[in-house]
């Protein structure tokens, strides 16, 4: 496969930038040493496919504010605990008395709600199209069981709108996309077709093994060498063209698109998911009406953190002046170093 990649690349004759969108792909690429196997001018850029990394400062601050309310318990996944807000992280807020619990599934929140009927349980729902169905399913169960003290704070995001913004940017040249395997099991091929049709950029949905990723790179190079642009599936054992329509329908029943702020990228139209009007009684933002101070997106950049540029594929982690010095997995400054799927955390683990 390496020989095939080198042969295809030699036919192209100019530097190529491919972006792996998914954080899990980023980790796999580092783990298997794939970058070191490729021609020098065939670059793999990490994209914004880490939901923890792109959760905005304001969203973290709002989640902290919920946890400080009387009789409110905030439930979150563990990898969100150390992400910095404007002044502190959820972990620091918990140490200061915030009622915050780590859960492994949104369904865990229903059990907590049933066992603590005098408390209001808020699920901090962060993720992409992959995790949104489980949040929708939990709302379904809460309705079915009549659990009225369960609420959702949704900062769920949609991947395709972020890719379009990257393609419209002049900051980085992207010649093709390694599309996320997990997200694509839900949404299939069609939501990405604008990338090939409008922007003439090839795309391949790949699996997460070394051979899967290398095969996906070869498929992208073949398209580029032949002057083609299409959305292909390498991960055919899991991903179909139409995706999981039942899961998509479930998302659409409980959520609707909304504008959403992405850390490092900005406010993107119709890139988020909020609860539909029929379920506003479970929308924590509406029920509790918490206001928090806006923090500029470049808040951490003032200290030299380049997380926003890393998320957009403009810089690699080692080009950040804080990387491996002031910012490490043990003491992260930026969100890209917090999550195990973050580019900086993966780069640190496998390149140092």
Report the distance separating Cα 69 and Cα 64, nearest Å: 9
Summary count for the chain: helices (H), strands (E): 16, 11
Q: Report which of 180, 185, 189 is spatially closest to residue 231, judged by C-alpha positions.
A: 189
Question: 22 in helix, strand or coil?
Answer: strand
Spatial neighbors of 120 by CB under 8 A, at least 6 apart, are: 69, 71, 72, 73, 149, 151
pLDDT at residue 296 in the model = 59
The torsion angles phi and psi of 20, rounded to 5 degrees, stand at: -90, 120
C-alpha distances in angstroms, 306 versus 219, 313, 322?
31, 11, 8
Identify each DSSP E strand in the chain by its residue range. 16-22, 42-49, 72-76, 100-102, 120-125, 150-154, 176-179, 203-205, 231-233, 255-262, 266-275
The two tokens of residue 86 are 């404007």
**Chain centroid to CA 225: how far?**
30
Q: Do 176 and 223 contact (CB within 8 A), yes or no?
A: yes
**N residues, the chain:** 352
pLDDT digits (tens, 9 = 90+) for 325-342: 888 888 888 888 888 788
Under DSSP, the state recorded for 317 is G
Q: Do 75 and 124 contact (CB within 8 A), yes or no?
A: yes
Alpha-carbon dihedral angle through residues 262, 264, 266, 272, given to the nearest 10 degrees: -10
The two tokens of residue 325 are 């010095």
Indicate the domain borders of the chain: 1-299, 300-351
Q: What percent of the chain has pLDDT over 70?
A: 97
CATH number of 1-299: 3.40.50.11740
Q: Give the DSSP H or E segment for 37.
A: helix 34-37
Q: What is the mean pLDDT of each run of 10 residues along the chain (352 residues)?
A: 91 94 92 92 92 90 95 95 88 95 96 96 96 95 97 97 91 92 96 97 97 97 97 96 95 96 89 96 93 62 75 86 88 83 86 64
Q: Do 26 and 343 contact (CB within 8 A), yes or no?
A: yes
pLDDT at residue 257 in the model = 96
């Amino acid at each position: 496969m390496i020989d095939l990649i080198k042969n295809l690349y030699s036919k192209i004759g100019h530097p190529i930038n491919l972006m792996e969108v998914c954080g899990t792909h980023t980790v796999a690429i580092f783990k298997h040493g794939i970058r070191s196997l490729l021609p020098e001018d065939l670059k793999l850029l990490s994209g914004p496919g880490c939901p923890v990394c792109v959760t905005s400062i304001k969203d973290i601050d709002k989640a902290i504010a919920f946890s400080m309310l009387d009789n409110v318990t905030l439930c979150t996944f563990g990898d969100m605990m150390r992400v910095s807000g404007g002044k502190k992280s959820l972990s620091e807020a918990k140490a200061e008395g915030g009622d915050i619990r780590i859960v492994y599934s949104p369904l865990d929140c229903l059990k907590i709600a049933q066992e603590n009927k005098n408390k209001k349980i808020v699920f901090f729902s962060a993720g992409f199209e992959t995790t949104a169905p489980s949040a929708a399913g939990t709302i379904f169960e809460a309705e079915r069981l009549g659990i009225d003290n369960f609420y959702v704070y949704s900062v769920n995001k949609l991947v395709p709108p972020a890719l379009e913004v990257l393609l419209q940017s002049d900051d980085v040249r992207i010649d093709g996309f390694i599309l996320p395997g997990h997200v694509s099991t839900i949404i299939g091929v069609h939501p990405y077709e604008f990338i090939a049709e409008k922007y003439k950029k090839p795309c391949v949905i790949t699996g997460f093994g070394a051979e899967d990723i290398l095969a996906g790179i070869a498929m992208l190079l073949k398209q580029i060498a032949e002057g083609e642009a299409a959305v292909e599936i390498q991960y055919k054992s899991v991903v179909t063209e139409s995706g999981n329509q039942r899961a998509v329908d479930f998302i659409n029943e409980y959520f609707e698109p909304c504008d959403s702020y992405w850390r490092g990228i900005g406010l993107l139209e119709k890139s988020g998911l909020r609860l539909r009007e029929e379920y506003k009684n479970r929308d924590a933002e509406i029920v509790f009406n918490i206001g928090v101070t806006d923090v500029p997106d470049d808040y951490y950049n003032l200290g030299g953190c380049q997380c926003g540029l890393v998320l957009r594929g403009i810089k690699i982690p080692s080009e950040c002046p804080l990387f491996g010095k002031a910012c490490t997995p043990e003491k992260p400054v930026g969100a890209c170093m917090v999550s195990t799927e973050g580019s900086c955390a993966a780069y640190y683990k496998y390149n140092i």
